[in-house]
Amino acid sequence: MSTEEHLAKEKPKKSQADLLYEAQVRSRRRFSLQVILSWIALLALLIFIFSGIEFSIGSFTVRTIDLDSDFIKENLAFIAGGAGQTILICVMSIILATFLALMAALGRLSKFAPIVALSSFYVSLIRGTPLYLQVFFFFLALPQLGIILPGLWAGVIALGLNYGAYMSEIFRAGLSSVGKGQREAAFALGMTSGQMMLRIVIPQALRFAIPPTGNEFIAMLKDSALVSATGFVHELMWRATKVGRAQFNNLEALIIAAVFYWIMTLIFSSLQSRLEAYMSRGER
């Protein structure tokens, strides 16, 4: 047997560092498996609480919440049909909110006093009043000006304006995160202030601002339920309350809606964490 053959047969010996690394990976895997198993256990517990099962152990009786399963079967598809409307409202509102937030954030940094006043007035007014009230305001007040918006648009405007005010703070932080040196370099290259904003500052600020915007979108998914209060937007919450009330099964109807809100939130949260990972990779 030659020396080469001998070497090939022998297992390559792992270094101490490799062994340590593998042990770490193993324990990390074990940990996330434990998290997943605990999740499943918690979910099973939650389902058990709503199972309607009742039993006694000795003198101790265990009671769970009893739901009308016939009602759920009959109305599940109808209530779920509102999910599309919910997502549509959120997508349109987030587009409006992003535009408004960018405008308000740029306005706050302006050197022209009325513009600074306009944007800080907007942010203060909207953040200082409840969203529920704003939804009714656009529904009831605008017709007096001759602007009669369909219920959906009144809702989108209210949600967009509200979230725009909150998101303007995120965008402002994003804009101020771009170093002064970047602006100075842009000027040194002979850019106008408009070019500097569009080509240098905003692209860098967006990278900072997009992940939190995803977060706002997820919050909005749930706040969109308020838009149904005027009765003209037939989204998830509206369908759930109307069907529940007419058939005296509010609890069942609301639980169906809750499940769909949760599923939507889970989906968008996972998209959001991917986006976040993608964005942070770009920063290197």
Partner 1 sequence: MKKLFTIVSLIVITALALSACGGGGTQAEDLLAQIMERGTLIVSTDPNYEPQSFLNTEGVRPADTKCASDQLTATEMQGFDVSVAVEIGNRLGVETCFATPSWDLITAGSWADKWDISVGSMTIKPSRQEVLYFTTPYYYYVAIAAALADSDLDSIDDLSGQAVCMGAATTYEDWANGVLDIPAEDIYYQPPANMTTVPLETDQECAQALAAGRTDFVAYVTAEPVVDSNIANGLPVKKIGEPLYLEKLAIAIDKSASLPTATLLEKLNEIVQAMHDDGTLSTLSLEWYGLDLTKAPGE
Tell me which residues in 3-22 interact with partner 1 (CB under 8 A).
none
Q: Give DSSP secondary structure letters for 99-128.
A: HHHHHHHHHHT-SSHHHHHHHHHHHHHHHT
Contacts of 152 (CB under 8 A, 6+ apart): 85, 88, 89, 232, 233
In the bound state with partner 1, the residue whose beta carbon lies nearer, of 191 and 279, is 191
Shortest Cβ 121–partner 1 spacing (Å): 12
Tell me which residues in 88-117 interact with partner 1 (CB under 8 A).
103, 106-107, 110-112, 114-115
The alpha-helical segments, DSSP class H, found in the chain are 3-9, 16-49, 69-80, 83-108, 113-127, 131-140, 151-176, 180-188, 193-195, 202-223, 236-246, 250-282
Axis crossing angle, helix 83-108 with helix 236-246, rounded to the nearest 10: 140
Question: 87, 232, 259, 279: which one contacts partner 1 (CB under 8 A)?
Answer: 232
Shortest Cβ 252–partner 1 spacing (Å): 11
Instruction: Tell me if 145 contacts partner 1 by CB under 8 A.
Output: yes
Instruction: Tell me if 61 contacts partner 1 by CB under 8 A.
Output: no
Positive or negative CA dihedral for 33, 38, 39, 45? Answer: positive
Shortest Cβ 271–partner 1 spacing (Å): 28
Question: 33, 91, 231, 262: which one contacts partner 1 (CB under 8 A)?
Answer: 231
Instruction: Tell me if 180 contacts partner 1 by CB under 8 A.
Output: no
In the bound state with partner 1, the residue whose beta carbon lies nearer, of 101 and 233, is 233
Shortest Cβ 256–partner 1 spacing (Å): 12
